Chain A
Amino acid sequence: MTWQLSLSNMQISSKLSQILERSVNSLFQRNNNSKEGAGGTAKNPVIALLGNPNTGKTTVFNALCGTRQKTGNFPGVTVEKKTGFLALSPGETEYSSSISGETSSPNAALVEVIDLPGLYSLKAGSPDEDVAADVAMGRVDGTNRPDAIVFILDATNLKRNLYLFSQVAEMKFPMVVALTMTDLLASRKIELDLPALEEALGVPVLPIVGRNQDQVSQLKKAIGEMLHTKRHPEIEIGFPPQLETIVDRLSKVLNLYIPVSHFEVREMLFFKDYLLLEHFFSFPDAMAAIESERRAVKDLGYDSTLIAFRRYRWADGKMSACEKRTEGESNRISQKIDAFLTHRFFGLIAFVGIMYLVFQSIYTYASPLMDLIEYLFDSLGTLAGSHLQSTPILRSLVVDGLISGVGSVVVFVPQIAVLFLFIAILEDSGYLARAAFLMDRLLSWSGLNGRAFIPMLSSFACAIPGVMATRIMPDPRARLTTTLIAPLMSCSARLPVYILFIGAFIEPYYGAGWAAFSLFAMHALGIIISLPIAFFINRGILRAPALPFLLEIPPYRLPQLFNVFYRVYEASRSFLLKAGSVIFALSIVIWFLSYFPHPPSVEKQVRQEYEEVENVYAPADPADIQRRINAAYLEQSVLGRAGKAISPLFQPLGFDWRISIGILSAFPAREVIVSTLGIIFSSGDESGESLKDHLRNAKHPDGSRLYTPLTAITLMVFFALSSQCMSTLAIVRKELNSWKWPLFLFTYMTLLAYGLALLVNTVGSHI
């Protein structure tokens, strides 16, 4: 199966080679995505990868670009923009040879590759899916319109894949097909005639299995030639001629406003909910034209099932020309595995086991690495501190602000890496779809679907990887809702708070049994509240119509090592760079607020107090004195004063100014409240023994108890539900590509936490 193109007939015009030369040269100056739109000069050629989900598109992208890839965002949507560069070395294709012949550079031509999201159809159901068609038509700011498409076709699933192919072909892009899963043809008893397929589709078809270098090289050659010849497929799908006349007519009108392709116009004639229509809402003439043509279509008796029907008829015709399947059960191994893994009883047990492993890994096994990171940063801090003794402000800034800030970001990486390792393996192997299949019933009533399970489960360890895990949910509304309820899951950072207060107020008075129950109840609270809230967010706020939950269950496959590790690397890197910067900036702000003002008079006063006392009693422990000094400084800092200022707000909950300061200080990280309270009460060890005593024994001026078990419960309820983790807000901002969602998250959770805590305190004090 060879495909030859006689290049001797093609001549590259000198103008074209000038452009190519400029683009090759400009590559060496910047490796960034060109901000120019389609048609800009001095840009790299751009190709886009398109294909169904589960076809091995990522493998092809990785094989073409290697590590020369990065992720960014499309404006206004949450789906990530994955771009990379592919190098066409001289001699690999005529295309690049001609370039390097013109320039003196021996280097390769670089082609920009955009990996568009896997889709079943370019007619989108949501803005996130819309992006692929928008990019293809050059409607996206900041992204170049592709010059050509590499279509990923799954050899074992031709007919369905051809649906999307037929849509792309209508857009008249130069195309090359990368045929994947060809290694599975034999075991599935499928005979595929490749030359016939090339003939039927009218484009070159290159098989690609994994990272086979020969095949990759062949594909690159074909890409080079495609960019050179710009040959596009000519297909005739067989829509009724009268319909096509209407489509042509309407297309001419609509293209005056924005670029739209024929297939999009055709869909507009049948589907009122087609998102693309929104682009025309502000043009009454366009809308009128659309309406009138819609009526015309209806009058002709065509209904909305026509398009799908005709496309599949076309696909069927193409397929039967090339494919022959032997009857009998294909996919034996997958079926056998599924008989077990989706079994009524064993399937659920296996599921619980696997989920337990994932959870334990994030919760427990990642902690040694996290402890190590904390230890390293603490040591670094001590080291830096010892060199900066002479400049206290700088010392505090560097140690408590900078080093501590960076440390607080890096410490999340182990959990993220572990979670994404599991996600990559589960997803690439195909198990993730089974997991969603098993769990869907539990989640569907709230408007979520089975895929939300793993993000929610992960959030019990920590919401940061949990929120990142929502990337496995293609439905953007479900993804958004899941992101907004994930922080309600009681994460591991809340645990020190629970342990402190249960240990101080529940266990001594009510015993270990009630203490254990309280711990359980706090975790359960998150789950119990989250699904009704999801329901409310979906119906009340997003007003999302219930989308049908359609999940393809792919055959089981061995995950590709490169893909898995690259995914882990990419998740960690994107967290560090994008969320990390926000978290770091906020750490500095918090440091600033808890340090300044810092008048030396405070220290003087404390020492004076101790001296006066020392004259009567034994000399105090210098460590004790230092703690009192720290406590005093915290109280007079901006943060401390803010805490005191808002404490009237917390009074109905039974909290005093000390707890208010604690709550404010917990914003960078929830568990900080424990150390803050430790400082305020001047307790020596944070592990809590003396802090517990201090909390229990704290008294009002009149001698009555400051904190009661009820206070403890109220505070824990508040903590369970409040949004006190700026890292979570930072990651939500990053994943959802907007500040309005973290703002919403913070607001609703704070109100929820306050409301429920108030309820608990009010009801409790009347019992």
Chain B
Amino acid sequence: MTVADMKPGQRARILGYAEPEESMNRLGELGLITGQEISFLRIAPLGDPLEVKVMHYHLSIRKKEAGNIRCELIEQ
């Protein structure tokens, strides 16, 4: 699954990028790297973007980028 499939309140661990494009590098620099834990907070009222919590800070990313981040859910 990808981050775009997550629901509010869920936690997951990042497995990698579906398409390792160079533009995803920015996400890596922000800490969305393999092994990093990520929490899904909310979807914006209009459907996009998403708010996630990573490494103790909140980040907003669009569904498009989120769909590129493979992850596996962490059981609560």
| Residues of chain A whose beta carbon lies under 8 Å from any beta carbon of chain B | 120-121, 123, 125, 156-157, 159-160, 163, 271-273, 303-305, 307-309, 312, 325, 330, 342-345, 347-348, 433, 436-442, 444, 450, 545, 547-555
Contact B65 A553 (CB under 8 A): no
**In whole Å, how far is A481's beta carbon from the nearest beta carbon of chain B?**
17
Known contacts A348-B45, A441-B47, A548-B23; A305/B61 CB under 8 A: no
- Nearest CB of chain A from residue B2's CB, rounded to whole Å: 14
Q: Tell me the bound Cα distance from A555 to B42 in angstroms.
A: 15
B65 to chain A, nearest CB (A): 5
CB-based contact B26/A312 at 8 Å: no
Residues 14-29 of B at the A interface (beta carbon under 8 Å): 16-17, 20, 22-29
* Given A433-B60, A441-B47, A551-B59, CB of A120 within 8 Å of CB of B25: no
**Do A304 and B20 form a contact, CB below 8 Å, given A159-B55, A437-B49?**
yes
Closest chain B residue, CB of each to CB of A439: B46
Q: 8 A–B contact pairs at CB < 8 A?
A: A305-B17, A305-B20, A344-B45, A444-B48, A444-B62, A450-B49, A548-B64, A551-B59
> CA A151 – CA B62 in complex, angstroms?
30
B45 touches A438 (CB 8 A): yes
How does the 8 Å CB contact mask read for B26-52 relative to A, with 1 for contact and 0 for none?
111111011010000010111111010
Q: By the criterion CB–CB under 8 Å, are A552 and B26 in contact?
A: no
B33 CB contact (under 8 Å) in A309, A343, A348, A554 = A309
Asked if A547 and B27 make an inter-chain contact with CB atoms under 8 angstroms apart, the answer reads: no
Residues of B close to A308: CB separation below 8 A: 25, 28-29, 33
Could you tell me if A550 and B61 are in contact, using CB atoms closer than 8 angstroms? yes
B24 CB contacts on chain A under 8 angstroms:
548
A551 touches B31 (CB 8 A): no
Q: A160-B31, A554-B57 are in contact. List 7 more A-B contacts (CB 8 A).
A: A159-B31, A160-B30, A163-B29, A273-B22, A305-B20, A309-B33, A437-B51
Main secondary structure of the interface of B (DSSP, over half): mixed
Residue contact B57 to A548, C-beta cutoff 8 Å = no
User: Are the CB atoms of B31 and A552 closer together than 8 Å?
Assistant: no
Please report the C-alpha to C-alpha distance between residue A338 and residue B67 in the assembled complex, in whole angstroms: 24
* Contact A347 B22, beta carbon cutoff 8 Å: no
Our pick among A272, A345, A553 for the contact of B60 (Cβ within 8 Å) is A553
- A336, chain B: closest CB distance, angstroms: 13
User: CA of A307 to CA of B25 in the docked complex: distance in angstroms?
Assistant: 10
Report if A125-B46 is in contact (Cβ < 8 Å); known contacts: A159-B31, A159-B55.
no
Q: Which of B36, B51, B65 contacts A548 (CB 8 A)?
A: B65
Enumerate chain B residues within 8 angstroms of A345, measured Cβ to Cβ: 45
Q: Which residues of A contact B44 (CB under 8 A)?
A: 342, 437-438, 440-441
Give CA–CA (A309, B28) in the complex, Å: 8
> How many Å lie between the Cα of A159 and that of B65 in the bound state?
22
Known contacts: A308-B28, A308-B33, A309-B34. The answer to whether A342 contacts B57 by CB under 8 A is: no
Q: Which residues of A contact B47 (CB under 8 A)?
A: 441
Q: Given A342-B44, A549-B49, do A120 and B29 touch, yes or no (CB 8 Å)?
A: yes
Which B residues are CB-close (under 8 A) to A433? 60
Chain A residues, CB < 8 A from B23 = 545, 547-548
B7 at the interface (CB under 8 A from A): no
Minimum Cβ distance to chain B for residue A619 (Å): 69
In the bound assembly, the distance between CA atoms of A273 and B23 in angstroms comes to 9
